[in-house]
């Protein structure tokens, strides 16, 4: 993921496009990386509070769990 350009489609479908894995396997891998501190996800909401997407920050080194924002 770090080697992909910033404008890459980082959705599960976008990652599946360049992988041999199914979307469920990619979802599980992304969640593992998130739990380990390599990915930080911040969910985006619209003016009515509805989920409208997520912003992902990807790190080369795991971030301290205590330094990470609370997940939605």
Contact between 42 and 25 under an 8 Å Cβ cutoff? The reply is: no
At 38 the pLDDT is 94
Beta bridge partners of 56: 41
At 71 the pLDDT is 53
Q: Give the pLDDT confidence of 8-31 residue by residue, as tens digits.
A: 888 888 888 888 889 999 999 999
Confidence of residue 3 (pLDDT cuts 50, 70, 90): confident
Domain boundaries of the chain, sorted by first residue: 12-67
Q: Give the pLDDT confidence of 45-71 residue by residue, as tens digits.
A: 999 989 888 888 899 999 886 655 555
Q: What percent of the chain has pLDDT over 90?
A: 39
Q: Rounded distance, CA 19 to CA 7, Å?
A: 18
Helix (H) or strand (E) segment spanning residue 42: strand 39-45
């Amino acid at each position: 993921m770090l080697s992909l350009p910033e404008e890459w489609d980082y959705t599960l479908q976008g990652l599946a496009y360049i992988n041999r894995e199914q979307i469920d396997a990619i979802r599980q891998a992304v969640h593992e990386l998130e739990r380990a501190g390599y990915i930080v996800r911040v969910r985006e909401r619209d003016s009515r509070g509805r989920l409208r997407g997520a912003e992902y920050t990807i790190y080369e080194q795991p971030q301290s769990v205590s330094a990470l924002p609370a997940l939605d």
